[in-house]
Amino acid sequence: MKVFIVEKYGKKEALKLAEMPLPVLEENEVMVEVYAAGLNLLDSKIKSGEFKLILPYKLPLILGHDVAGVITQVGKNVKQFKQGDEVYARPSDFHIGTFAEFIAISEKDVALKPKSLSMEEAASIPLVALTAWQALVENARLKKGQKVFIQAGSGGVGTIAIQLAKYLGATVATTASEKSFPMLKDLGADVLIDYKKEDFELVLKDYDVVLNSQDAKTLDKSLRILKPGGKAISISGPPTPDFAKSIGAPWFVKIVLSLISSGIRRKARKLGVDYSFLFMRADGQQLQQISKLIEEGAIRPVVDKAFPFEQTAEALEYVESGRAKGKVVVKLK
């Protein structure tokens, strides 16, 4: 089968088209013929080697974290799915590889594709929607009437997180360039801040939750707009010792993460707020709950561009450029 692989780590390394044998199907897995695959900044960060401490992949590696397709085969212990089912998924870490014609995925990571979505739209959803769900529902327990600041509203996570926060009844503030304002208003954002002209720290105060996806300077400022007891949840780092513990990382990784996050954790304590790092995980049951919200019309995908599969390397470069509004996908069928 045709696949796109990372041969060696490096920011300037490009994905390479290669031929690989079909995956071997385990008894608790489903074989999915890939119709479309979503691209994420996580793919770029893994390619550059940024996450090799917490995700020590063996190279060469088939990249890709989002998939929509059709089940062609089921393992003997699979109960929930059958051949011919249209599904979507974010395969779990160390089992990724959606930039391929086929992928074997654990049954527990898979959900039926929402009927209202095309394959390309469905492929844009899993990683970003699970990130938003785990940040706002599971971690922040966001409630009606609370205020949440979602950075980079026009990005992949931002477009879904805004809609989820509105569904939960929160007031949503976000940053973006002015040309994205109409789209973000349409998604439900209440307070729109042009990051090129305004400093969000001077506009926002007494927020309950911040979803941070930007740099260390932005994270520092985000802590200061929270009310006492508020939560800053970062998906861009720095990772914490608690995170290392949750993934069962070796002792030396815990020490490294303790050191690199000590500054921000100290600042958060001083301000009486909570800081945590979120590295989303695969979860088919949560994806099923997200499917319900999609079918109800509470969440809709935002797809910027669909590339043909042969142009997966160019599609990832487009994601890295930071110009995409919403998600970028590649189409195989």
Distance separating alpha carbons of residues 284 and 28, to the nearest angstrom: 14
Specify the pLDDT at position 28: 98
Q: Are residues 230 and 306 in the same domain?
A: no
The pLDDT tens digits for 170-196 are: 999 999 999 999 999 999 999 999 999
- The answer to whether residue 290 sits within a structural domain is no
Range 238-258 average pLDDT: 93
The pLDDT tens digits for 88-113 are: 999 999 999 999 999 999 999 999 99
Specify the pLDDT at position 302: 98
Q: How confident is the model at residue 154 (pLDDT cuts 50, 70, 90)?
A: very high
The percent of the chain in helix, strand and coil, each rounded to the nearest 5, is 35, 25, 40
The pLDDT tens digits for 281-309 are: 999 999 999 999 999 999 999 999 999 99
Q: How confident is the model at residue 240 (pLDDT cuts 50, 70, 90)?
A: very high
What is the b/e burial string over 122-137, where b = at least 16 CB atoms within 10 angstroms of the residue's CB? Answer: bbbbbbbbbbbbbbbb
The pLDDT tens digits for 30-55 are: 999 999 999 999 999 999 999 998 89
Domain of 87 in residue numbering reads as 2-125+301-331
Given phi > 0 = left and psi -120 to 50 = alpha, else beta, which region is 16?
beta
Q: Are residues 212 and 138 in the same domain?
A: yes
Tokens of 14: 């490009």
Mean of all residue pLDDT scores within the chain: 97
- The answer to whether residue 109 sits within a structural domain is yes
User: What is the DSSP secondary-structure string of 66-125?
Assistant: EEEEEEEEE-TT--S--TT-EEEE-PPTTS---SBSEEEEEGGGEEEPPTTS-HHHHHTS
> How many folded domains does the chain comprise?
2
Check residue 259 and report its DSSP letter.
Answer: H
Q: Are residues 80 and 185 in the same domain?
A: no
Model-level pTM?
A: 0.97
Q: How confident is the model at residue 139 (pLDDT cuts 50, 70, 90)?
A: very high
Q: Are residues 37 and 99 in the same domain?
A: yes
- The answer to whether residue 285 sits within a structural domain is no
Specify the pLDDT at position 227: 98
Q: What is the CATH number of the domain that holds 117?
A: 3.90.180.10
Q: Give the 3-state secondary structure of residue 249.
A: coil
Distance separating alpha carbons of residues 97 and 173, to the nearest angstrom: 35
Q: Are residues 9 and 115 in the same domain?
A: yes
Specify the pLDDT at position 70: 98
Vertex 51: Cα angle to 99 and 40 (nearest 5): 40
